Structure formats: C-alpha cells, structure tokens
Structure 1
Amino acid sequence: MDWQRNGLLAGILLVAVLLFSQWLGFSEARKPEPTAEQLLIPDQQQLPTALVDELVDEAAAQSDLPQLSGSAAQLPAVTGTTNSRLVTVESEQFTVVIDSYGGDIVQVKLKQHLTEPQAKGGRPFTLLTRTQNNTYIAKSGLVGVNATDTRDGRPQFTVARDNVEVDTGIEQLDLVTRQAGVLLTKRFTFTPGSYQIGIEYLIDNISAERWSAVFYGQINRDSHQPLVNATGVQPYLGAALRTAEKNYRKVTFGDMQEGKLQESIRGGWVAMLQHYFIGAWIPPQDATNHFSLRQIGGQDLYVMGYTSEPIVVEPGQSGSYKTSFYAGPKDQDTLAELAEYLDLTIDYGFLWLLAKPIFTLMQWIHNVVGNWGWSIILLTVVIKLVLYPLSAASLKSMAKMRKLQPEMARLKDLYGDDRQKMSAELMGLYKKHKVNPAGGCLPVLLQMPVFIALYWVLLESVEIRHSSFIFWLTDLSAKDPYFVLPLIMGASMFFMQRLQPMPPDPMQAKIMQIMPIAFTFFFMLFPAGLVLYWTTNNLLSMAQQVIVNRQIENGKG
C-alpha cells in the first residue's frame, strides 16, 4: 500500500507543481500595459552613427566592388520641401508613421488590436514607436560603395504628401533623393487588409559611372518590456531568426550583450518577438542574405537586421531592390505564407506538437460556430471523446472502489491498528475485484499535457486575445474579473469527488479534500478560456462517472 500511496501523492504533487508554474507565468504576464508617449519629432532624434559605420564596414567586406572615381553629371534639383517630415499612412489595419529623414518606419499602431477590450476604452496597440523612453523602429537604407547612409549622416528624402489613405486599392508612397547622376526613389507599398509593408529602392543611373550599394534593413530596439513584468515565467521578448542549423532560433538580449551574432543564408528572416505581436524583415527568398544581431556600445539598444547582396546598376541603366517588413499580429497562416518557418515564431513551448493540432481544431470549430468560448467547449467535448478509451478503465476502477466502500470500512474497523495487516487485506480485496487504487489519478494526469498545451495556445494565439464569450466574460485570454468560472470549477471538482471513493489513507483523503480549494485559487488568475476548458472537462467527467457508476451498480461493468 505504501507504494500506491506514494504514487498517488507524487501524481497529485506533479499536477500541483505544473499548475503553479503555469499560474505564475500567467499572473505575471497580465500586468497592465504602459501608456504611449508622444512620438519624437525629427529634430529631437539622435543619429546613431556607430550603426551606419558598422554596416558600411560589413558592406565593403561583402561587395568587393571597386570605388567610383571621377565626377558624374548632376541631376536637376528636385522640387519640394527638404525639411524633415513625418508622413502618416492610414489603413484599416494600422497607422504607420515614416520619417522622411532616412525613410524609417518610426511608429506602427494596430487598429484591430487594442490595449484592452473596446468596452473598457481600449486604444490601438502601439507596436513600433520612437519616444524619449522607448525605441522600436524599422530602419533601412543603402551602404557600401555608393551609400546614401554614411558616417556623415543619412539622406533627407523629398516627399510629396504628408498623409496617405489606404482604402480599396494598393497605395504607394515615394521618397526621393539624389546622388551625383543618380536618382533614388524609396517606395513604400501598402495593401488593404495586410500588415506587410513593401519597400523598394528604384535606382535611375543616368551618370557615366557604374553605381553599386548594399541594402540594409534593421530593427532597432531597446529592452523595454511592453507588458510590465516582475518575476516568474513570462512570454518571450527578444529576437529570432532562421539559420542554416535551426529553422527557428531565439536570440535574447543577453545573447547580443555577449557578442555579435552573424549568419548568412539563402532567404531567411529576422524578427523581434513579443507577446502576440511581431516585427520582421523578410528579404528576397531567392538571394543570399547576411544577418547580424548585436548590442550597440553597451547601451540599451539592440540591432537585428540583414544586408543584401550587392546591387549594381550600370551607366545609363535602371535597377531596383525589393524587400518587405511585417509589423502586426502573430497570425499563423499569414506568417507561414510570408516566409518559410516564420510561423514558428508563434511559440507553443515544449508541447508544440500537441498545441498546434489543438489550435487547428479549435480554429476549425470557430469557423463554424463563430465564438471562441463555444469553440473551447466543443473542443473539450472532442478531447474527452478521444481520451475516453484511455480513461474508461480508470473510471470503472473508481466506480468499483466506490462500490467496495462498505467492505473497505469493515476492514478498517477490523485491522485499523495493524497497518501491515490492513494493507495486505486491502491488496487482496483490490486484486479480487480487479481494482487499481491509483487509477483515480489517471484522468487528471491524462489531462495535464492537454491543459498545458491549451494554456500556451491561449497565451500565444492572438486570435483569442480580447475575444468575448457570454455576459461578463469579455476577454477569454484574461482572468475572469468576477471569479465566477473559478468558483464553478471548484464546485465541479468538489461534486466530482463525491462520485468517487475517498482514499482509505487519512493523509490522502485530506489532500483530495483540499484539492478543489487549491485549484480554485490557482485558477482565479488563469485565462478565462482555460478555466472554461477545465470546468467543461469536469462536468463531462462527472457525467461519465455517473454513467459508469450506474453500470457497475447494475452489474454491467
């Protein structure tokens, strides 16, 4: 009996530890988001020339192209203002702000994803920004032989308009500058319904010399945590890229502090990840790209980016270079289409093999019923049906033990003071009736991998963020504000225990009686969607146990 008691205690302890670890992670991940600050205007910004210097050195080492010599014809002056300006692009998906100095994306606000549910006054979520206390921008330019970005500064583009509206068709924003004999247009392309921003350099070389440069795309970011966290497990904040050895490699801020990381690969991507959202450079997939991740001079500033193969335009010819930047939610289908393995940035943890099909099934159900709450309930029904063959034997064992309660009570009265004799008699009773006393843990242990996988699905899947269910449940990815679901869940655990026999060991019995209370407190800070799953699972388990108990009592088991 000791091994059975110890096994039961170990199983209960394992469940409690797993629940507590996930509870810590979620409670820390749901701290309120900070309010946005005012966007820095161009004359307040500082040019981090060290970044340009490093890229120039890299480009020179990669290109092996001769330096231009001699003079080139001058283009006529381009009309329009040359003062640095912030250009705002509005679409249904986001608001994008582009600085004409350098042509960087300095702010992205996501209109379809709010800081909190709309009923609570949520504002568009700020993903990229450039404020006094926070830097997260997408920088790009040309370095190398005929660089526009040099040690002396960056190009001041001329732009014809300050506002762009993206309605039903594709919109383009052209930023224009010139070198000696070369007209350069930096074109941004916006597509309705898309978070992908196309970026293209158009090079019109009317000079007598060959023109060459290397494109670079960067994410410049500090380590500012968009969700205020304290301790415990929390959603990953950091960089990731595809390498030759790994389809998905995380690179933390600490990794970049230790030294510069470099990788050359055909295609590839580099991204900055945070809870639910991603900013990613997606270079041409048919070219070799050179990726680099590093910290800048001991500052709280990190650079994740890539440089292209050399772009060469012969005299009197035109050329171009196309790339794209994605700034938006971690949508699995969209990311998978943009680049190979980019969808792996939706990190479901060590149980991703289980989490992915769970999300796929839940998404399919959602497409039918149109509500994530009902999708979770129907998903629970499917999971219970799938796991029933594994849990049926355990349910029957519990029903038989419940039927044997009078006999177990008689043995306790006879041999209560002789633990060895009591254990031997109970083992004989269990063997005679083919009962496994530890079988009651099996249904719970079977549910734990599904529970943890679903936890990561709810934590990582932006589709469920701020999704409402019924009445007071306006956000299934957040805790129940009134703790109604956790209390119902605790009550369901209590009544389910009434359908099962209590262990003969007093310590086991006390632990089983405490579990509904402990679970209730754990679940008070879990996402409501997860509590909904566990509550539904308990109710279905109760129904199954009632049916099996009746079968055993009627002699059919």
Structure 2
Amino acid sequence: MDFDKRTIFAFVLIGLILILINTGFYQKIVDPKGYEQRQLQRTQRVEQGAVEPRGPAIQPRESSPAIENSDQDFSPVKKTPGIEVPDSLGEKKITIQTSLYKATMTSKGATILQWSLLNYLGTDKEPVELFTENSYNNLVVGFNTKAGDSLTTGDYHFMVDSPEEIKLSAQQEFVLKFTLPLGENREIEKIYTFRDGTYDVSLLINFKNLNQLIDDKQYYLLAPNGLASTEKNMKDEMTYTKAGTSAGGETKKDYKADDKAKKVAADLDWVAVRNKYFAFYILPRNRNSQYAEILGTQIAQNRTDKVKWKKYSLKLAMPFLGESNVKDEYTLFIGPMEYGLLKSYKKDMQDFLDMGAKIIKPFSIAILITFKWMHTFISNYGVILLIFSLLIKVLTYPLTLKSYESMQKMQTLQPKLKELQDKYRSDPQKLNQMTMTLYKEQGVNPMGGCLPMLLQMPLLFGLFIVFRTTIDLRGQGFIWWINDLSAPDTIFTFPGNFALPIYGNTVNILPILMGVTMFIQQKMSITDPKQKFMIYFMPIFFTLLFNSFPSGLNLYYALFNILSIVQQKYLTPKKPETALATTSKRKRRI
C-alpha cells in the first residue's frame, strides 16, 4: 500500500469510527445485550407484569403530557380491616433548605414531595427540580396483611410536629419524625435526618408491634415516580434515563423500558434511577434486601421531535423478621452524578455513570480527573481546554516529529516505489517483498505517519464522553456565545422540523471553526495532487459530523488544529531533499 492510499485510509477511518460509535453496528459489537434490548424497545410493546409477586405491585403509568408530574397508582387500601387510622389528620408540608438543596416533605405518606438543587440551574434559570410538586408516593411503605389485604402508606396522613420551614447551614442537622398510628399500640415511624453540606439523607423506618399484622415476612419500599427531566435536549435526556442496581460489586444498568417488571433477586448495595446528570439512590444500611423490582415505561409524547419519554419505578423488598420492634436504616442520595462525589460513598455508585467501554473508560476518567484538578486553580473550563490542548501537543511532539520525518522520507521514496510497481506489476508477492526491503534499507516505517493519530483516538473518545455525559462541564461557559461546553454552541435553529442530513437543525460556530482550521492544516500538509480531494472533503465531512457534538469537544479540536498549524509552520524540520541520494551514495562507497 503506497503513501497516498494510506493517508486517505487513515482519514476516512477516523471519520468512519466517529460515525460508527453512534450506529447500531458499533453498539451491537461493544454491547450486544444492550443493543438487542434497545431494539426490542423500538419494535414491540410487550404485556405488563412478567413478575407478579404478592404485595403492592408497580403498575405502568397511563400516557400523560408530562411524565414527571403524574402519579402512579399503587392501589392503597385506605380502610383496611383491623387497622384504625385517625381521619382528622390533614396534609402538612415542611420545607427544609440547606446550602445544596431545598426539599418539601409531606405528611401524606411521610414522603418527599419536592426536591430542587440550588447549585444547578434548569433551562428556566431556576434550580433544577428532581421531584416536582406532584411527586407523591415516593418512599411509601407497603406490605401484605395476614387478613389478606394489601396496604401502602401513600394515602395515609402521618402525624408530625415540626415548623413549616427549616433552614440549615454550617453543617447543621435536622431530624424530622413522622408517625402513623394504626391502633392497638401499633405504629409506623419514618424518621428523616437532613444535614447541611451533603446530598444524602438518612431514613429510619420503625415498625412497632406490627408482627401480628404483616404477612409474608417482608415489606416493600416503593419509589414509583422516577426523576423529573431537567435538560433541554430531550432526546439526550431520555438516552441517559435509566434504572440501576448494584450487588456484590457488579452494577447493572440495562433495564428495558418495556412495561414489564424485572425482578432482581440479590442482596443489593443500592438501587437507583437517573436522568442525564442527576440520580436518586436508595442504599439499605443495616439489613440485606430480598430483591428489587424495576419497572420501566415508555410513553410517546405529542412532540415534534417524536421523542419517547421514559421513566423507571423502583420497588425494594426488605425482610420483616416478625419481631415486635423492627428498625431499618437507609441512605438516600438525591443529587448530581459527579464522579468523585459518588465514589466517596465507597459503594461503586460511580459505576452508574456512563464513562465509555472498558478500553475507553480509563482515558475518560483520567481526562475528567485532570480537568477537575486544573479547575482547582483555573475557574474557566475553556481556558483549561486551551492549556490541555497545548499540553497534549507538547507531550506528543516527539511522536509527531517522527511522524513528519517518516512522511517526508516516504515522499522521497515515491519515485523508487513507482519504479518497483512498474517492474513487478504482474507479481504482487514480489512487489510486496521488494517494497518492504526498500523500507528497511531506507529506515522507513510505513506506518510511522499514522502513529500519533492512532494514539490520539482514545483521547478523542474520552473527551467526547467527558463533554457529553459528565456534570462537571454542564453549564460551564467559555467566552461570549459559548455558555455551555457540554452542549453545542447554537446561534440559530432552523424553523419547524427542517433539518439537514448529518448536520441537523442548528447552526453552531465552533464546528465551522474546527472545519476551517482543519482545511488550513490539510492544505499545508497535503502536496500530492492526487490527494487534493481530501483537502476539501474531510473538513466538510467533519464539520457536518461534529455539528451536534458538545462545544467543548469542537473547541478542543479547533485549538488542536491551530496548534498543529503553528507546529507545522515553525517547528517542523525541512524536507530532506537529498536523503535518498545520500543513502545511495553511502551504499556505493561501501
């Protein structure tokens, strides 16, 4: 294979790889099981209820215009024989605000009604809401009674004695106690402990004298509402909307949204739901779970983008030992999916993040850690990208230098290679043998020019993942119109449903800048007339392809191209015009 073909092949290969990572072909190779499940989601709607354990069942939600604002019916029994609940208790709402979040608790079911994160803004420039006003039934308790009835606490009003508004600061702590009397000296207590400066909340559930009431030696902790959507790009948001479980260090996060409940029989470290950037984890602390049940539903919304909304409901089955006083403790995490924060809990919670395939994951994590370290003394992530680009250029300069030298040597060999091709046209095997002999004599590595390019591919994928999936860059701007490095730098959106193939329906500046700088770099490096087509094709192709990519990734590649142009113009050694002749003369003297 001569130099011209290798160069074309290398550039086309990069383009094909970038395309393939978003195709079913690539997904089928790297994640065949997940691919098959996603295909089934799109092509069929299966019947509800593959798992039908006794107890309060998770029911698929009916279609509604906003998933995050509708309730799930767990069919609570308001009047259960043998249970006396005060009828005079009305709903009471309590607001707890810390430096990180604002939560609204309700006495109805003793649950979390609203939860907003104060340090993260939504599309309306208000704090993002992970649970909205209608998120009743989160963390309700359910069980079967020995009389054959099913009871959940979601429609019962607990007693609570607390101020309506509490503000915490400077690591303060507040304990909120809900009590549900059930007659005959029986009651359920739910005690929440809130602390300033952390996203986790402690939950203690205390069953008093219910050993003669609860059947099946188990009860259920239910979380049917999932998380509200927080991002503008709903297609992206739904891509990352998932449920996850972890048991014995193994994390599973490929549960289908197909209206069928999936039973996970294991001693779980945690069960969780997430959207693109935020998550809700439930971690049992003092007792092993019996199983979890995951129900994913998918609803077609009346939207021009035809995105199908997803949400996941959770049901955690816990053992009830038949004692007169049973206490179970949980840690609830409701907050950002920040790698270091999740890892600090030492429960593999960070594995719920999407950091790429096994071969790419180390690069993604290394890039993220480097960015976060640099962010401790540089506040602007755009500036960090500039420095990071320069750093990568410096580190790869020795390889790049060898690459240029190899390419120049290959160019000087072109006449000799042409002679060999003409001489051994009818004998491909001999041609290949003589070509390799020539390379060896001249000290040329035919793949030397591709090495720096190949080494940078993991960085490309790692950067793509970091900019697209990690919350650290969400909402982080650079200059002027670049206000979010995790999203395209859109300056114009085509009206209606108009969109260009590959390019999309938005006009973004940085992909164009990246394409222009690529064109200049190609024009400087490609001198062979047979490769002129590549000078124009590759920049146009990459501009179209990168248009929907995060602006941070486009900024990095534009900066990298600019640095490459400077390097080529001022730091690259001149072409060794007489290299081949000198080598030939030396051989003749010998």
1:171 & 1:386 partners in 2: Cα distance? 51
1:222 & 1:24 partners in 2: Cα distance? 28
1:463 corresponds in structure 2 to: 472
**1:189 counterpart SS class:** strand
Structure 1 residue 394 displacement after superposition: 1.3
Evaluate the alpha carbon distance shift between residue 555 and residue 89 of structure 1 in structure 2; reply closer, same or farther with a 3 A threshold: farther
- After TM superposition, list the pairs within 5 Å mapping 1:212-231 onto structure 2: 214=218, 216-221=220-225
1:234 & 1:389 partners in 2: Cα distance? 43
1:333 to 340, 365, 375: 340
Evaluate the alpha carbon distance shift between residue 38 and residue 94 of structure 1 in structure 2; reply closer, same or farther with a 3 A threshold: farther
2:452 & 2:187 partners in 1: Cα distance? 70
1:509 to 532, 539, 551: 532
1:528 corresponds in structure 2 to: 551
Range with greater deviation from structure 2 (381-390 or 545-554): 545-554
Structure 1 residue 441 displacement after superposition: 3.9
Structure 1 residue 352 displacement after superposition: 0.9
1:539 & 1:364 partners in 2: Cα distance? 25
* 1:87 matches 2:112: no
2:477 & 2:515 partners in 1: Cα distance? 22
Would the aligned equivalents of 1:199 and 1:324 in 2 still touch at CA under 8 Å? Answer: yes
1:174 corresponds in structure 2 to: 177
1:489 corresponds in structure 2 to: 514
* Structure-1-length-normalised TM-score: 0.75
Q: CA offsets, 1:356-393, max 9 Å, x none? A: 11111221111122222222222333333444444442
Q: CA offsets, 1:172-213, max 9 Å, x none? A: 2222221231344312221112221221124566x9x87877
1:122 corresponds in structure 2 to: 125
Q: Which amino acid aligns with 1:93?
A: L
- After TM superposition, list the pairs within 5 Å mapping 1:286-301 onto structure 2: 286-295=286-295
2:166 corresponds in structure 1 to: 164
Structure 1 residue 93 displacement after superposition: 2.0
**2:332 counterpart SS class:** strand
Q: Which has the higher contact order (CA 8 A, sep 6+)?
A: 1
Q: Which amino acid aligns with 1:290?
A: Q
Q: CA offsets, 1:13-60, max 9 Å, x none? A: 2211233356899xxxxxxxxxx97997xxx9674228x99xx9xxxx
2:138 corresponds in structure 1 to: 138
1:175 & 1:524 partners in 2: Cα distance? 52
Structure 1 residue 89 displacement after superposition: 2.7
1:39 & 1:460 partners in 2: Cα distance? 21
**2:190 counterpart SS class:** strand
2:108 to 101, 111, 116: 101
* 1:188 matches 2:189: no
Q: Which amino acid aligns with 1:378?
A: I
**1:102 counterpart SS class:** coil
Q: Which amino acid aligns with 2:556?
A: Y
1:63 corresponds in structure 2 to: none
Evaluate the alpha carbon distance shift between residue 538 and residue 24 of structure 1 in structure 2; reply closer, same or farther with a 3 A threshold: farther
> Structure 2 stretches of 5 or more lacking a match?
25-64, 300-309, 492-507, 581-590
**1:126 counterpart SS class:** strand
1:68 corresponds in structure 2 to: none
Evaluate the alpha carbon distance shift between residue 466 and residue 349 of structure 1 in structure 2; reply closer, same or farther with a 3 A threshold: same
**1:349 counterpart SS class:** coil
Would the aligned equivalents of 2:227 and 2:273 in 1 still touch at CA under 8 Å? Answer: no
1:153 & 1:369 partners in 2: Cα distance? 48
Would the aligned equivalents of 1:101 and 1:154 in 2 still touch at CA under 8 Å? Answer: yes
Q: Which amino acid aligns with 2:320?
A: P
2:394 & 2:480 partners in 1: Cα distance? 28
Evaluate the alpha carbon distance shift between residue 97 and residue 251 of structure 1 in structure 2; reply closer, same or farther with a 3 A threshold: farther
1:138 & 1:521 partners in 2: Cα distance? 44
2:67 & 2:564 partners in 1: Cα distance? 53
1:29 corresponds in structure 2 to: none
Q: Which amino acid aligns with 1:48?
A: F
1:501 & 1:295 partners in 2: Cα distance? 56
* 1:248 matches 2:247: no
Evaluate the alpha carbon distance shift between residue 293 and residue 555 of structure 1 in structure 2; reply closer, same or farther with a 3 A threshold: farther
* 1:272 matches 2:279: no
Evaluate the alpha carbon distance shift between residue 5 and residue 283 of structure 1 in structure 2; reply closer, same or farther with a 3 A threshold: same
2:546 & 2:9 partners in 1: Cα distance? 21
1:146 & 1:102 partners in 2: Cα distance? 22
2:125 & 2:100 partners in 1: Cα distance? 16
1:199 corresponds in structure 2 to: 203
Would the aligned equivalents of 1:257 and 1:294 in 2 still touch at CA under 8 Å? Answer: no
**1:368 counterpart SS class:** coil
Structure 1 residue 146 displacement after superposition: 8.8
> Structure 1 stretches of 5 or more lacking a match?
26-35, 57-70
**2:549 counterpart SS class:** coil
Q: CA RMSD in A?
A: 4.6
Evaluate the alpha carbon distance shift between residue 224 and residue 331 of structure 1 in structure 2; reply closer, same or farther with a 3 A threshold: closer
- After TM superposition, list the pairs within 5 Å mapping 1:37-56 onto structure 2: 47-49=73-75
* Structure-2-length-normalised TM-score: 0.71
**1:253 counterpart SS class:** coil
1:502 & 1:234 partners in 2: Cα distance? 46
Would the aligned equivalents of 2:122 and 2:230 in 1 still touch at CA under 8 Å? Answer: no
Evaluate the alpha carbon distance shift between residue 91 and residue 38 of structure 1 in structure 2; reply closer, same or farther with a 3 A threshold: farther
Structure 1 residue 216 displacement after superposition: 3.2
Evaluate the alpha carbon distance shift between residue 283 and residue 349 of structure 1 in structure 2; reply closer, same or farther with a 3 A threshold: same
* 1:323 matches 2:330: yes
Q: CA offsets, 1:482-535, max 9 Å, x none? A: 54433332232223223324345x2x4312432123223333332121112212
* 1:236 matches 2:261: no
Structure 1 residue 225 displacement after superposition: 6.5
* 1:538 matches 2:538: no
Would the aligned equivalents of 1:480 and 1:524 in 2 still touch at CA under 8 Å? Answer: no
Would the aligned equivalents of 1:237 and 1:252 in 2 still touch at CA under 8 Å? Answer: no
Q: Which amino acid aligns with 1:278?
A: A
* 1:18 matches 2:27: no
Evaluate the alpha carbon distance shift between residue 141 and residue 345 of structure 1 in structure 2; reply closer, same or farther with a 3 A threshold: same
Structure 1 residue 553 displacement after superposition: 5.4
2:544 & 2:527 partners in 1: Cα distance? 22
Q: Identity over the aligned pairs, expressed in percent?
A: 24
**1:499 counterpart SS class:** helix
Q: Which amino acid aligns with 1:185?
A: E
1:65 corresponds in structure 2 to: none
Would the aligned equivalents of 1:399 and 1:549 in 2 still touch at CA under 8 Å? Answer: no
1:296 & 1:449 partners in 2: Cα distance? 33
2:232 & 2:482 partners in 1: Cα distance? 23
Q: Which amino acid aligns with 2:521?
A: M
2:341 & 2:287 partners in 1: Cα distance? 22
Structure 1 residue 410 displacement after superposition: 12
**2:468 counterpart SS class:** helix
- After TM superposition, list the pairs within 5 Å mapping 1:295-314 onto structure 2: 295=295, 302-310=312-320, 313-314=323-324
